[in-house]
Amino acid sequence: MSVSVMVPTLLRPLTDGQKKVDAQGETVRHIIDHLDSRYPGIKARLVHEDEVHRFVNIYVNDDDIRFAAGLATRTAPGDKLTVLPAVAGG
Amino acid sequence: MSRLLDDASLSWRSGPCLPAWQSLSAALQRQGDCLGLRHADGAADGPALLLTHPDLQPLQTRFAGLPALPLELSSEFTLQATCGLMSVHGRASGRLQALGVNYLATLNAALAWQGCLAAAVGQLRGGHFRDVTLQPAAGALLSIGQYLAGATAPEDAEHLLPGSDDALARPPFLSADGLLFELETLDSLPWRRFWNALGISDALAGKAWQRFLLRYARAVAPMPAECLDALASLPLARIQAIASDSGVALVPVRDPAQRRADLDYPASAAAPWQLQRGPVGKPASAAAPAQRPLQGIRVLESCRRIQGPLAGHLLALLGAEVIRLEPPGGDPLRNMPPCADGCSVRFDALNHLKDVREVDIKSAAGRAEIHELCRDADVFLHNWAPGKAAELRLDAADLHATRPSLVHAYAGGWGDAAVSAPGTDFTVQAWSGVASRIAAASGTRGGTLFTALDVLGGVISAQGICAALLDRELHGHGSQVHSSLLGAADLLLDTGSGETAPALLQGLFRTADGVLALDCQTRQQHQALARLLGGNADACSLEVQLARQGTAHWVDACLAAGIPASTAHEDLALLGADPRLAPSLAHRAYRSVQSPWSFR
């Protein structure tokens, strides 16, 4: 089984318009690498110098990976990975 | 140095008070004083505002209602109800209800002055602007424009109704010793450290972070109960120490009297801007503006989030060419859902009238590019953190060396107050007494999660820029003008801006299909309402009779009988379907708000 990835609107041009795609991998880093091999360019939109971009939040199921092990956060088959842009402050 | 227009030749006359909305007239007068203009009483049937100067044709500014929403029967209460403010405020305050402060009076007085000052600038630059009309309903809609965009996006539209969230589970927070406070950080790491120190798990801290981040956009922030309980078990001093160790700012919720005792308060209360004249300089004359008064004025805007971008949006609505400076790759807020046509609708609502230029302000090449752009610019507007402009060598003195006639504007957070916390809407609401005042009126323990100060701060910033442009036209020099969220908050609570007289009968009432806002201010209106209801307008009759017909019926009947009334909209998605509001709304991919001004 694979992990399903919910793609935010702004990244959908890279996934041929798909809102939800499947990817393989045991950590978030692997999932993103796998996504990038199928949808080139997506990694650069999410990761910079091996850190999640400051204005991007990534959740495994409902858990923010910044509050877990970051890109090394483990994923299991059937998990849902959600990417949400977020900016602090008003 | 608080008066913006220190010119003895500029004077103004005020017109008669609006019958149902005296606080609007009071706010207009208060802001005229803040601007430093000489005031004379006006004719009984004159415009709301008449500006005169030897170099100007007299400039009239009037307020106008919408075709089916007459101004003489509109009030702060009915407009907050019908234009969606109560709906947004109600999301986290437990129910559909008013803010309890003269928000729309302060906002619309600022917009009226802004339109008037812009028209004066336009006239001095060769345009023929004699009459300005402001629609307060459109001003009110502009204030919730971002939320309206979010609620009417074509995909993933937000559906957040009043009362949908627990009013006790949102910030501000409560300590064991019963003290209320706000927390603020713009980074997840301090947040995580703070909650870990309180014994909260990473998973819960992460959930709380997501909700905390989104409170600016969604006006709700339900915090996990475990987080609230952890704080409620400790005294404030201990929480303060943990916050300090973690790098999280803590700001107490103070009452207005505490704010008035601050050393920086008198200057801030005297005027929400500070103007400092710069070098002598006046741009070469260009083509006269024809349709809108700031046509031909070029604004460079380097702002994030709400306050600064809204100021730029207002200047664009007045005709200015606004160039937005964004970091390489664009402003990350462009990606905030919900989106339409590849852009956040919330972002688009504030920025769709602007051109965009991506510039890396941290690089020497980027700064050189900004200097180059300034050679043809009239205004440079930023909302960077305090001290950053000087650090980047893009402060007023730096840019005046390139362009002496430039208006260098800063839309900041704290003004001159010595508060060591990010100056954001909610920390400033807490510190200024606005949160306390709104909480008392709303029956909650916090202010509003509607970004009331970001919006008002944006209007105040644009108003200050228009005044500085007028000062430049009259006296021929550049300037720097500072405004802040705290200055906007002080203006909002200024007693001179109009205390609300208690209404005879003011409230929200269920009808057969929605909610009706009623604001009977006179005995005659109350008697007219009693006649409409068959002879009696006591609480019981109101409830029974009003439930027998739909809201549209009652609004029509009340307005025909001379009673201030409106539909109280619960669902922002339905604002666009209200024929009374339709003239102020436009169709983009979402519902967008039209300019509140017109000029002749």
Check whether residue B182 and residue B84 sit in a common domain. Answer: no
> What is the predicted pLDDT for the residue at B449?
97
> What is the predicted pLDDT for the residue at B498?
56
Check whether residue B120 and residue B55 sit in a common domain. Answer: yes
Q: Is B181 part of any domain?
A: yes
> What is the predicted pLDDT for the residue at B335?
87
Q: Is B15 part of any domain?
A: yes
Q: Does A72 touch chain B (CB under 8 A)?
A: no
pTM for the full model?
A: 0.96
Q: How far is CA A20 from the centre of its chain?
A: 11
Residue closest to B36 by CA, chosen among B81, B5, B78: B5
Q: Does B454 touch chain A (CB under 8 A)?
A: yes
Q: Does A13 touch chain B (CB under 8 A)?
A: yes
Check whether residue B226 and residue B278 sit in a common domain. Answer: no
Angstrom distance (rounded) from CA B537 to CA B543: 9
**List of domains in chain A:** 3-85 (3.10.20.30)
Check whether residue B233 and residue B103 sit in a common domain. Answer: no
- Verify whether the Cβ–Cβ distance A86 to B210 is below 8 Å: yes
Helix and strand element counts for chain A (H, E): 2, 7
Residue ending a domain, choose from B460, B493, B526: B493
> What is the predicted pLDDT for the residue at B4?
61
Check whether residue B329 and residue B354 sit in a common domain. Answer: yes
Q: Residues A35-57: pLDDT tens digits? A: 999 999 999 999 998 999 988 99
Q: Is B343 part of any domain?
A: yes
Check whether residue B94 and residue B110 sit in a common domain. Answer: yes
Q: Is B420 part of any domain?
A: yes
Q: Does B418 touch chain A (CB under 8 A)?
A: no
Q: Does B342 touch chain A (CB under 8 A)?
A: yes
Q: Does A90 touch chain B (CB under 8 A)?
A: yes
Q: Is B412 part of any domain?
A: yes
SS3 (DSSP) at B51: strand
Check whether residue B145 and residue B185 sit in a common domain. Answer: no
Check whether residue B319 and residue B436 sit in a common domain. Answer: yes
Residue ending a domain, choose from B473, B493, B513: B493
- Verify whether the Cβ–Cβ distance A10 to B188 is below 8 Å: no
Looking from the CA of B381 toward its CB, the CA atoms found within 13 Å total 36
DSSP assignment of A39-54: STTHHHHHEETTEE-T
Q: Does B205 touch chain A (CB under 8 A)?
A: yes
Q: Is B188 part of any domain?
A: yes
**Which residues of chain B have a CB within 8 Å of the CB of A59?**
210
Q: Is B587 part of any domain?
A: no
Check whether residue B28 and residue B151 sit in a common domain. Answer: yes
Check whether residue B143 and residue B231 sit in a common domain. Answer: no
| B53 contacts B119 by C-beta, under 8 angstroms | no
Residue ending a domain, choose from B192, B220, B252: B252
> What is the predicted pLDDT for the residue at B1?
38
Angstrom distance (rounded) from CA B560 to CA B547: 19
**Which residues of chain A have a CB within 8 Å of the CB of B185?**
88
Task: Assign residue B163 a region (left: φ > 0; alpha: ψ between -120 and 50; beta: otherwise).
Answer: left
What residue numbers bound the domain in which B412 lies?
11-156+260-493
Count of domains observed in chain B: 2
Which stretches in chain B have pLDDT values below 70?
Answer: 1-4, 6, 44, 496-501
Q: What CATH number is attached to the domain comprising B457?
A: 3.40.50.10540
Q: Residues B127-173: pLDDT tens digits? A: 999 999 999 999 999 999 999 999 999 999 999 999 988 999 999 99
The minimal CB distance from B305 to the residues A59, A68, A90 is found for A90
Check whether residue B193 and residue B293 sit in a common domain. Answer: no
**Tokens linked to B274:** 């500070």
Q: How far is CA B170 from the centre of its chain?
A: 22
Return the residue in B185, B214, B248, B336 with the most chain A beta carbons within 10 A, the one to mutate for interface testing.
B336
- At how many degrees (to 10) do helices B452-475 and B307-317 cross? 50
Q: Is B590 part of any domain?
A: no
| B119 contacts B293 by C-beta, under 8 angstroms | yes
**Which residues of chain B have a CB within 8 Å of the CB of A8?**
335, 337, 339
Q: Residues B399-432: pLDDT tens digits? A: 999 999 999 999 999 999 999 999 999 999 999 9
Check whether residue B339 and residue B424 sit in a common domain. Answer: yes
Angstrom distance (rounded) from CA B22 to CA B593: 25
> What is the predicted pLDDT for the residue at B468?
96
Kindly provide the ipTM of the predicted complex, given to two decimals: 0.89
CA distances from B339 to A11, A34, B153, B298, B586 (A): 11, 26, 7, 29, 17
